[in-house]
Amino acid sequence: MTGRPALGAPRPWQAPLPEVWSLANGLTVWAYHLPGQYIATVDLVLELPINAEPVDGVALVTARCLDEGSQSYPGVGYTEALEGLGGQFHALVGHSTTQCLIDVPTDRLTAALPLLGEAVRRPELSDDVINRVRNNRLAEIDQQLARGAVTAAHALKRALLADGLRVARPLGGTPDSVAAMTPDVVRQFRAVHYRPDQAVLIVAGDLTGGGLAAAVDQAFADWPASGPTVVPETPQPGQFGRQTIARPGAVQVDLRLGWYGIDRVDPDWAALQVGLTIMGGSFMSRLNATLREQRGYTYGVSLGPHPFRTAGTIELASSTRTDCAAAMLEETLEILGLTTDFTPEETADAVGFLVGSVPLSLDTADAVAGQAASLAAARLPLDYVDRLLADLARVTPDQATEAYRRLVTTQPAAIVEVGDLPA
């Protein structure tokens, strides 16, 4: 009979680092060789700030049209070609980048790369496709706005960030902006702003088979570099204050609180993360221990930072029964006031959670590619994760307390309540 294996000390862990090279047209390649990861993720991260949009929402509509047919594979031919390799395409739009991704078995990676290039460089973008995707987006917006949580999140962003900033408006556009979008606007947006010289191609998976560099050249080397350089907005603080948005008949209140925050290169970033984790960023945080476990007001509270490339926000989200809303808000504000400093035990638990969860969160190729994409979007160094883990491990209770007080308790807050409440 085999006995139970002995447990040893955990091995030192470091975040994966890529092989890096560039093509003559300026496209940068980050290749993460991850032995045993036989589903590869390829993520083309285009430097494309959301303030480059001529019409709010065009970046998202454009990205969602890319796999709806290409010049070489019109109509459903593109999807059939990619699915024939066991792959799938999806796209993401953020405040500073657009991401075009494929997931594919590693033994078909080199065959799939030209298909990614085809979607980005030569999409069909017919009137019928663009109008259908735009109409689907309009229906999606209607569904989203039927949820109090979405209404609250949009209102909080408007309160936290200055009027006129694109980042203060919904990322995917509004009903009016999307309805006004024409196929020509979509085609022109892609033609002008999709360019290789400000893009990063991330490849993550078991790359033992080789041939990656040649496949990248085949797919992207002749992509011309041209177009304007758009600088991302620098968010500025808004008007804050408190607002109640009526939602007649709602049985719960969606609550949002927020503060103007910092970005990931701020010296207090690690200490703030620890402080927010203690206060509301984990299941047994101070807020959850009281509001969920003791009072039964809510299923849970989340509190965390939302960084942009520069600056950011700090946001709290929760919901509660309408009859508990006033009491919950009062007690939430009292707890957030931090009358008692963070303790060594709380700090050690928060640091252990933050540091210990990172290796688990980067155990697949798509997770590694996703982390790399966030580094590219924020223009952070490739070893940023290891630097952050080292910074987190050094955070003391005093540092966590001071960072939290500087950025939360001494700053103005925006408060949004959405529900069946008096206006």
Q: By C-alpha distance, which of 96, 394, 95 is closest to 268?
A: 394
Q: Which CATH fold would you assign to the domain 19-220?
A: Cytochrome Bc1 Complex; Chain A, domain 1 (3.30.830)
Burial class (CB in 10 A: 0-12, 13-18, 19+), 167: buried
Measured distance CA(98)–CA(93) in Å, rounded: 4
Cβ-Cβ contacts under 8 Å for 231 (sequence gap 6 or more): 49
Q: How many CB atoms lie within 10 A of CB 181?
A: 25
Q: How many CB atoms lie within 10 A of CB 389?
A: 19
Q: Find where tokens 């990063």 sit.
A: 200
CB 43 within 8 A of CB 100: yes
Q: How many CB atoms lie within 10 A of CB 156?
A: 24
CATH of domain 241-419: 3.30.830.10
pLDDT of residue 5: 84
Q: By C-alpha distance, which of 28, 384, 22 is closest to 202?
A: 28
Measured distance CA(68)–CA(126) in Å, rounded: 9
Domain ranges of the chain: 19-220, 241-419
Measured distance CA(360)–CA(153) in Å, rounded: 29
Structure token pair of residue 357: 């969860």
Amino acid at 195: R
Q: How many CB atoms lie within 10 A of CB 267?
A: 10
Measured distance CA(216)–CA(114) in Å, rounded: 8
pLDDT of residue 385: 97
pLDDT of residue 273: 98
Geometric angle at alpha carbon 120, from 140 and 137, rounded to 5°: 10
CB 414 within 8 A of CB 241: yes
Measured distance CA(155)–CA(417) in Å, rounded: 9
pLDDT digits over 213-252, tens only? 999 999 999 999 887 889 899 999 999 999 999 999 999 9
Q: How many helices (H) and strands (E) does the chain have?
A: 15, 11
pLDDT of residue 423: 63
Q: Do domains 19-220 and 241-419 have the same CATH topology?
A: yes
Q: Which residues pair with 201 in a beta bridge?
A: 29, 44
Give the helix/strand (H/E) hosting 94: none
Query: H-type helices in 122-147, by residue range?
Result: 127-145
Amino acid at 103: D
Q: What is the pLDDT along the chain (423 residues), one digit of tens a residue?
A: 578 888 888 788 899 999 999 999 999 999 999 999 999 999 999 999 999 999 999 999 999 999 999 999 999 999 999 999 999 999 999 999 999 999 999 999 999 999 999 999 999 999 999 999 999 999 999 999 999 999 999 999 999 999 999 999 999 999 999 999 999 999 999 999 999 999 999 999 999 988 999 999 999 999 998 878 898 999 999 999 999 999 999 999 999 999 999 999 999 999 999 999 999 999 889 999 999 999 999 999 999 999 999 999 999 999 999 999 999 999 999 999 999 999 999 999 999 999 999 999 999 999 999 999 999 999 999 999 999 999 999 999 999 999 999 999 999 999 999 999 876
Measured distance CA(158)–CA(180) in Å, rounded: 22
Report CA torsion sign: 259, 262, 267, 269.
Answer: positive
The beta-strand segments (E) located in 284-422 are: 302-307, 312-321, 414-419
